[in-house]
Chain A
């Protein structure tokens, strides 16, 4: 765990001075002024205020809002949004049978307190902060830096996020943690965010601004912004400079891994050709993070290694091939582990980097290593400056990342709270008040600025409490509307006149599928480890075809050919709909004799509701036309699993 060095009292005045330009972006009233009032209201009271804003705007547009959702519709949506899966048949029946007028509130509390809540929201934050789906880790590339969040590092990061969700750690605290985190990625999960983006400082600065300030500053990375006249390239450099003395290195085992691999290859070659082995252990030119790694010629490299106390790993020469393989396998697990730290920026370091760069260029070693050195040198020499602030922010002796973390999470930073309340609103409502949720700019006006103000003020006043934020949003009538729409013109999503219809994410689809088809129970029965293994295999199969690229939640419905083939012919789907021994269908067919009852069960399991009379008779007709046997039920289950009602959150 990182040490939390933060003292909020010291931040106040200093940061206020820096916030000048940024306030303009935040728009609306100051957060601080509203705080006392906000503190007194309950989430339900605030929800009413928000509804009033939405309704007033709808009225002015002459749009009539959709009515309240029925209980079944509400329940399924709440499960998917809050815990990322669908309710079980038993849960649906219990909820529909509950006569209590406060049952929706009770359900909200129940789900917020569940383990599934933490699991689901850690995935949500993993995706939002890394641009990658945890399901996709190790499945396919995912672009630059993705490997540093694969394997153990990814697990640790996900675990860290899950812990914060489960404890309901104040949002400002854990975001602060993420930005200042130090240590090994396989030991301190909080380093995950930095590690994922660390390969390129500019991307790290962009990702930080995008994730936590809802601002896409990367447009200013290469040039002054086209529309936003105030967004200058030099300001971008100023933000990036906060990471100018960040240091990310491969864990020491990586060097050992490389050496062993080289050694094994050389021995193999020697055996193959009977030729003499190359005399030097050099040529490590895998382009690692560290510009120094692949720098020099062989002889002075060995000398240098010695000087740094990096001895060759002695015992390794005398291992048997089997031992070597075992060792390699072990080391491979840590090959992508990074160590995150800060290095003092002092003139000497800058000078050192400059000299190394010169040497490299003289030796004809341009390329990536030189670029990196240059980049590091330039950043170290750049004075960090808060985005859109008028003054430079460097305080000699204080780590730059700490300055940045304090500024970002400051009560006085209007963008920090606004960004997260907007992100959460978007999560539940299908669109942010500012949409896309990470694109605050003067060219992307909020649809309901009052809502952003009110939610942000309440959020800050109540200690950055994410569960309270959720409680507020899902308590609104706006959230609880039906997704049905009978009027002629579909309203825009950002009018929030009805509930949106959204494609399930990869994770939601997986969980909904294994639950609705009874596979979940089968997975539970086998040993825990076995069940994890199967889950991962299913996950891999799913995310390969379904994964939304770069973690961007698909706004439109889309389906690719491989996806279609997978759903029609893939083995996982065959297993899911199979009526074989131990399956949900075979259990169902033993338990229920009447086709109508079987159909009703399927509706509850897949759609979380009872079928209408028409639906029931149509389904029964279909089943009997298909022969009424096991195969017939496989057919109807297949169709229901692939239907829009199952595949969407509505």
Chain B
């Protein structure tokens, strides 16, 4: 498999400059021509005082594991045994001394040495749509600006439009879109149609389930229709180009150019041998079994194949976490899928040496209420919850933050969504202060309230 050449858009970050010992003034002088008028004073004032946080820019690629519906922190990574709120969830010890997680996550427990757990997530959006937007963009929804999701930002900052594969691929997603970054940075959606072992746990039958054999295409419309050979397709495109030349001779040629670019990218994707990487079914039975032949497991497997191909950001969406009823059974079932898929992904990335350059993020809408509802589930709870990161410069074997006895409030080291986004930006070498303009309004890559969670990176 060929690796793609990556375009390095920001060869030297400001932090690196400072790290090299250049004075702020000199650095400012160097940065200014890069065109970030707003990046100026504020950031510098902060950074002159703050010590440089290590391990920035190590991650070249990102896997975003997104738990749709909001995973219960109490049934996963922040269990509360021995309390009424904790429910029947049992815990197990992990590779990290003194850290216990839900016993239905035995594989991930063994891999805690690579994982940095954040138990002090605290956000403010308790509505699925708003929270999903928040946890993909770092911004609350706003009726006039559509912020880009983290994948679109990564594809814009780290990616390469000339590459054969799209740079932001959302498996069974996306959670958010490119917003003002525009169509070139939209997530490209792949569908994984493996059965869901947690199908029973999905309950209520309100989600579509795919059985074995009734699969839909992984990518829609990737194949030429019957009867359209590559030659005939290209002849059509050639004549189309002639028509467009005629039309644009004495007219605005924006349409022509955009269209040519669109068809070129689509054609490239159809023709590249790299597109075979979409077909995760080629993997051996043993590998599939390791990931778990579930929608999430196969999503993780596909993500690994795409990371191998150099895709900047792969998002894997896992549904079913909105467990208002029958929470313990449902989350336990979901944990089984999560445990196998995420563990196998971490293992394979580690074995190929890619983990050092790949940031894996596990996050969702929000946590769940400590109080157990009469239906045996939990409501939405953004005030205190958990997420984790691994690889790409993250210090594994560590827990940051703490919640109180029942998981109701963060008692130590709260982390907001903007802190999380700032940390992802740090890990991937993106400039959090970089300013974009949406309809003339300046919007920074990460909201200015975001501070890098340095404990994720410092040895």
- Known contacts A141-B129, A643-B240; A557 and B259 CB within 8 A of each other: yes
Q: Give chain B nearest CB distance to A288 CB in angstroms.
A: 10
Give the residues in chain A near B383, CB-CB below 8 Å: 366-367
Any B CB within 8 A of the CB of A278? yes
Any A CB within 8 A of the CB of B107? no
Q: Give chain B nearest CB distance to A363 CB in angstroms.
A: 8
- Closest-by-CB residue of A relative to B183 is A558
Give the residues in chain A near B143, CB-CB below 8 Å: 131, 197, 203, 206-207, 210, 218
Give the residues in chain A near B204, CB-CB below 8 Å: 261, 265
Query: Cβ of B256 and Cβ of A644 under 8 Å apart?
Result: yes
Query: Cβ of B262 and Cβ of A365 under 8 Å apart?
Result: no
Q: Give chain A nearest CB distance to B101 CB in angstroms.
A: 23
- Closest-by-CB residue of B relative to A615 is B246
Query: Cβ of B239 and Cβ of A568 under 8 Å apart?
Result: no
B146: contacting residue among A282, A550, A564, A644, CB under 8 A? A550
- Known contacts A283-B325, A561-B262, A565-B269; A635 and B239 CB within 8 A of each other: yes
Give the residues in chain A near B239, CB-CB below 8 Å: 622, 635-636, 639
Q: Give chain B nearest CB distance to A570 CB in angstroms.
A: 5
B325: contacting residue among A131, A265, A443, A569, CB under 8 A? A265
Any B CB within 8 A of the CB of A143? yes
Any A CB within 8 A of the CB of B224? yes
A572 to B178, CA, bound (A): 26
Please, how many residues of chain B have a CB less than 8 angstroms from a CB on the other chain?
Answer: 85
Query: Cβ of A563 and Cβ of B262 under 8 Å apart?
Result: yes
From 306 to 358 in chain B, residues with beta carbon under 8 angstroms from any chain A beta carbon are 324-326
Give the residues in chain A near B250, CB-CB below 8 Å: 484-486
A371 to B141, CA, bound (A): 16
Which of B142, B243, B270 has the most chain A CB atoms inside 10 A of its CB? B243
From 47 to 90 in chain A, residues with beta carbon under 8 angstroms from any chain B beta carbon are none
Any B CB within 8 A of the CB of A524? no
- Known contacts A558-B183, A559-B259; A639 and B374 CB within 8 A of each other: no
A626 to B257, CA, bound (A): 26
Q: Per-residue 0/1 for A256-276: is the Cβ within 8 Å of any B Cβ (1 yes, 0 no)?
A: 000001100110110010000
Query: Cβ of A282 and Cβ of B129 under 8 Å apart?
Result: no
Give the residues in chain A near B227, CB-CB below 8 Å: 631
In this complex, the interface size class of chain A, counting residues with CB under 8 Å from chain B, is: 35 or more
Query: Cβ of A644 and Cβ of B244 under 8 Å apart?
Result: yes
Any B CB within 8 A of the CB of A35? no
- Known contacts A501-B254, A559-B258, A643-B240; A365 and B129 CB within 8 A of each other: no
Query: Cβ of B244 and Cβ of A570 under 8 Å apart?
Result: no
- Closest-by-CB residue of A relative to B165 is A561
Query: Cβ of B380 and Cβ of A367 under 8 Å apart?
Result: yes
- Closest-by-CB residue of B relative to A438 is B144
A141 to B439, CA, bound (A): 23
Any A CB within 8 A of the CB of B284? no
Query: Cβ of B146 and Cβ of A269 under 8 Å apart?
Result: no
Any B CB within 8 A of the CB of A280? yes
Any B CB within 8 A of the CB of A556? yes
Give the residues in chain A near B182, CB-CB below 8 Å: 556, 558
Q: Give chain A nearest CB distance to B246 CB in angstroms.
A: 7
Contacts beyond the supplied A218-B144, A568-B267, A643-B247: 5 A-B pairs with Cβ under 8 Å: A285-B377, A557-B255, A558-B258, A565-B221, A639-B236
Some 21 contacts from A to B, beta carbons below 8 A apart, are A206-B143, A262-B375, A283-B375, A285-B379, A287-B126, A287-B379, A368-B380, A369-B126, A371-B126, A485-B252, A556-B254, A556-B258, A557-B255, A557-B257, A559-B262, A561-B262, A567-B263, A568-B224, A569-B224, A635-B232, A639-B236
Residues of B within 8 A of A (CB): 124-130, 133, 141-144, 146, 166, 177, 179, 182-184, 186, 188-189, 200, 203-204, 219-225, 227-228, 232-233, 235-237, 239-240, 242-244, 246-248, 250-252, 254-259, 261-263, 265-267, 269-270, 324-326, 369-371, 373-377, 379-383, 406, 408, 439-441
The 6 A-B pairs of least Cβ separation, nearest first, read: A564-B266, A559-B262, A368-B126, A283-B375, A557-B258, A283-B373
Residues of A within 8 A of B (CB): 131, 141, 143-144, 197, 199, 203, 206-207, 210, 216, 218-219, 261-262, 265-266, 268-269, 272, 278-280, 282-283, 285-287, 294, 298, 363-369, 371, 436, 439, 443-444, 483-486, 490, 500-501, 503, 549-550, 552, 556-571, 574, 615, 618, 622, 626, 631, 635-636, 638-640, 642-645, 647-648, 650
